[in-house]
Amino acid sequence: MAGLLDKCYSYNVPDEVKRMGLYPYFRPIESKQSTEVIMNGRRVLMLGSNSYMGLTDDPRIIEAVKKAVETYGSGTAGSRFLNGTLSIHLELEQKLADFMSKEACLLFSTGFQANLGVISALVGRSDYVITDRLDHASIIDGCRLAFGKMVKFMHNDMEDLERCLKSLPMDAGKLIVVDGVFSMDGDIAKLPGIVTLARKYNSEVMSDDAHSIGVLGKTGNGTPSHFDLEEDVALVMGTFSKSLASVGGFVVGDREIIEYLKHNSRPLIFSASPPPTTVAAVSTALDIIKEEPERREKLWYNTHKMLNGFREMGYNTGLSETPIIPLLIGDMMKTFKMCKRLEEEGVFINPVVPPAVPPNESLIRVSFMATHSDAQLDFALDKFKKVGKELGIL
């Protein structure tokens, strides 16, 4: 009879890659997360971070974090529901609600928990949650926790979305949940089409703007703002671990929805609240994003420069239209080799292989910051050209 832990002791999936010296995960970084980092005592260009605004090492944020520790200590020692609500939690919630053009906001300890907590609390037994097939794992797991039924539609395919909605009872509760910017392909959700179908079929819409905050929107306030649809999207979720230089998550919406979530979301009620350091970092990052729109302009300059550079070289960048750029390689081992060779050449990138992508569709995921310089990007293009030719990709 098989024991519960037998699968752990027999697990050897990464072993071959490790034996070849190509294992690309859990690589220790010995410095601040910036445009360049220290790895094994070497300075390496960072092209694998989600710090789109380049704020994780900003002195103003570091100083705000120090002051928060001095004022509030290192943690909250409880959940928001009981003893873990600090005055700075409430201040940040109001600031985020205003920034996102919504009535109210609720903070979660992680972005993953935000999706778990919102979807599982709202989608009841007789309800339906409709998701894009490329939605983030936290959305999928939120749907699994919910008592309602999950229905998936083909990626960004409005005809397939309508087919799904048509098959559901018109009077049933329905929530369409999509990534605002898809985290691997770097393309943007077709929110105008989604909103039109939601109206037609009596559905609500939720946008996961983890990779959109700071990047899209009139003031960096996300995908609904990008399409001028703030009033048509009921809920917008975001994370702090990308443009907002910390860790955690939030959701914004009508005051009544947020009040319901405050008293019914299990991941919120039964988790310790975000520590004061996190809250102070996010609050300061939000101020900087609002006060320095040139950061977003520079991010888009860097994005267009690299998209054009990769395409001129002959790389397949897929559907990308944001600072997330996939380079489609295909073969998994070649993808691992490319990751290793680029690191040897002084460039950090992220490999994405099955099961995260379908078989023979492995890719290199590259992402950019507002703080990358032209010299750094030129250096990167030179290395991608060298390694791409060496491995027969170009």
Whether the pLDDT of residue 73 is over 80: the answer is yes
State yes or no: is 203 an active-site residue: no
Fold classified for 59-291: Aspartate Aminotransferase; domain 2 (3.40.640)
Q: What is the pTM of this model?
A: 0.95
Residues 6+ apart with CB under 8 A from 284: 58, 60, 61, 64
Whether the pLDDT of residue 296 is over 80: the answer is yes
- The ranges of the chain annotated as CATH 3.90.1150.10 are 10-46+293-390
**Reported confidence tier of residue 223, pLDDT bands at 50, 70, 90:** very high
Q: Which pLDDT tens digit goes with each residue over 36-70?
A: 999 999 999 999 999 999 999 999 999 999 999 99
Tokens of 12: 């050897």
Q: Which pLDDT tens digit goes with each residue over 11-43?
A: 998 998 999 999 999 999 999 999 999 999 999
206 by DSSP, 3-state: which? strand
State yes or no: is 386 an active-site residue: no
Given a contact cutoff of 8 angstroms between Cβ atoms, the answer to whether 269 and 239 are in contact is no
Catalytic position from the list 34, 183, 362, 367: 183
State yes or no: is 74 an active-site residue: no
Residues 6+ apart with CB under 8 A from 125: 147, 148
- The ranges of the chain annotated as CATH 3.40.640.10 are 59-291
Catalytic position from the list 89, 155, 174, 242: 242
Tell me what the pLDDT averaged over the chain comes to. Answer: 96
Helices (H) and strands (E) in the chain, counts: 15, 13
CATH class of 10-46+293-390: alpha beta
Catalytic position from the list 211, 226, 337, 372: 211
